[in-house]
Amino acid sequence: MKILGNKKAVMPIAIAAALALGQQSASAQGLFDMLFGGGIQHHPQGEFPPPPKLRKVQPGEGDARINSPTYNVYKADRLVRIDFKSLLPASPPATAQDAAFVPSVTSTAFRNALAGLVDYELFAEPDIAKALIAYYSANPDFIWVTGDTPNSRAQDAVRVLGEAASYGLTPADYSVDVPAATIAATPEERTKELVRFEMALSARVLRYAHDAQSGRVDPNRMTGYYDFPAKPLDLEAVLKTLAHTQEVRTYLESRHPQNPEYQALRVELESLQASEENEIVVDPKLHLKPGESSPELPKLLTLIARNLDDEMGGDYGEILARLGKSEVYDPELVPMIKAVQKRAGMKGDGVIGPRTVSSLAGTSRADRIEKVRVALEELRWLPSDLGSPRVFINQPAFTASYIDNGEEKLKTRAVIGKVTNQTAFFYNQVKQVDFHPYWGVPQSIIVNEMLPRLRSDPGYLDRAGYEVTDSSGRRIPSAAVDWGAYGAKVPFSVRQQPSEANALGELKILFPNKHAIYMHDTPQKSFFERDMRALSHGCIRLQDPRGMAAAVLDTSVDDIAEKLKRGHSTENVTRVIPVYVAYFTAWPDMSGKVDYFDDVYDRDSKLMQALEATEAVRAPST
């Protein structure tokens, strides 16, 4: 039940507050536990020390809040004109800069051709421009030209760049003018044409390799809700590899993510691009209970019949054949509708409503193509190999899964953050499971939700089973604190003791991160019966927390139950288990079938804006 506070502000605020009180600073881990309730550290009990001296409230502090991250209008980096001056004949020959370079007949031709770059205007990203000059300074030779024509290596590269759309990329970003087969009027003109082609193709190949590996936009610049480590790419090494291989296609395609999910999304994109727009349109406001009738029902049943797989066909094929044209919602159809709803992640109540219609007919072909292109871009932000075993949380699907050896061994419903307290998109590694945990209340909840009440009722935390401690971990009665003296910098931590009413329920699964997000149980079980489950302060609540704990600890649910009988304890996860707190509105199941979900946080449109901004910057480049 964590809130997603301002990621840049929460930890510095807590540290500053501790220093302001003149207390000795805690260790980094100790501070983390103090703020977020690691469940390991026991604070001293016993007689309360006197409360700290009161300070004067600064103007405006009474209304202070810790704000959540915001979304930014994405601005792509400007391109730079590549400066070829250092490559011109005056530059010294390669020496020990690159021991692997051996001068050749073609390298002499290359040096003679460099004069053709004197007034050449080629634009590229700054790091690509730098890498291009560095590579050719150390390796003054053609990669893409042999004699007076582009070679087979160049032909393969141009084909790969031209197929960028099959990966959800924009081919225009990588376009290169290939010299015509017809020889130019003079050898000098042909030489100029070829050396310019050489540089342009290298620049666009480097752009393609970067985009394939890391994506076209920097997600961390879009919003504080995105948190991804950099994926470094040695651009000079890319050109060196391409200069010494004939497997250009294989190498460039290997820059893309190499996981089954990426391939399934590519297959879906190809299928959508080859398909026609939905010809069956169902009223999006359709609401139908068993026994009621509507002329829209046969349309919906036709769509269900069209998408039947072997399992569903075996169970419901005969019923559809018999009742597929009926306008009456016959009770015999209810089990099939429930199955369709459950497959789409809904609770399966058998009532046909807008969400059921949307899952079957509410997303146009164009919308699905956009969702898949967005998903392909987002998947490039993650590791190429997602790892096994792994935990995968897909926020728009409101699900959390444990996947091992290509098998989804656990899939449970999940509650994610409210639109006002959104769950971040990041990945980390599962570290520990806390049984009967303490809940360390985040500063954002203390400031935004508790503080207004504490100013008029300072003792309510004592009555509600919370512990208040100062920066040294000393217990202080809530009633003894003048809460009205503080605004956004509250120099106390608050935690809720283990109990049936504890906001985290009976266990939590930690993967330390700066957003203070983890998976946990909850006493609010009714939330899992809802289809739209964006209801928390940012953390991931699980319908089956015991099953997930058993999975990550590689044990049984019965063993988890025994551990819970022993009271508060902590157990470390000894295996490497990556956890993805992900956000995909298009995502394949384990069979490769792509499912589509509502964009609960409206993030797809923001990513599309960033992609369009990137394309706009690249458009005038030549």
The pairing of strands 594-596 and 586-588 is: antiparallel
What confidence tier does 414 reach under pLDDT thresholds 50, 70, 90? very high
The pairing of strands 507-510 and 80-81 is: unpaired
Identity of the residue numbered 325: K
What confidence tier does 344 reach under pLDDT thresholds 50, 70, 90? confident
Q: Which positions ≥6 away from 535 have C-beta within 8 Å?
A: 415, 416, 418, 527
Q: Token pair 């409101």 is at which residue?
A: 398
pLDDT tens per residue across span 38-75: 333 333 233 333 433 434 444 444 556 777 899 999 99
CATH architecture of the domain covering 382-438+502-585: Beta Barrel (2.40)
Per DSSP (E only), the strands in 405-555 are 407-417, 425-429, 432-435, 439-441, 466-469, 493-496, 507-510, 519-520, 534-536, 540-542
Q: What is the pLDDT of residue 448?
A: 87
Which range is least confidently modeled, 125-134, 252-261, 503-512?
503-512
pLDDT tens per residue across span 218-260: 999 999 999 999 999 999 999 999 999 999 999 999 999 999 9
Q: How far apart are CA 309 and CA 281, in angstroms?
A: 22
- With b for 16 or more beta-carbon neighbours within 10 A and e for fewer, the 520-544 pattern comes to bbbeeeebbeebebbbbbbbbbbbb
* Residue boundaries of the structural domains of the chain: 10-50+439-496, 80-257, 297-363, 382-438+502-585
Which range is least confidently modeled, 270-274, 361-365, 390-394, 400-404?
361-365
Q: How far apart are CA 433 and CA 415, in angstroms?
A: 19
Is pLDDT of 536 > 90? yes
Q: How far apart are CA 270 and CA 272, in angstroms?
A: 5
Q: How far apart are CA 396 and CA 597, in angstroms?
A: 6
pLDDT tens per residue across span 192-216: 999 999 999 999 999 999 999 999 9
Q: Is this prediction's pTM over 0.85?
A: no
pLDDT tens per residue across span 434-454: 999 988 888 888 888 898 889
> Which region holds residue 393: left if phi is over 0, alpha if psi is between -120 and 50, else beta?
beta
Half-sphere exposure of 19 (CA within 13 A, CB side): 7
Is pLDDT of 307 > 90? no
Q: Which residues face 65 on adjacent strands?
A: none
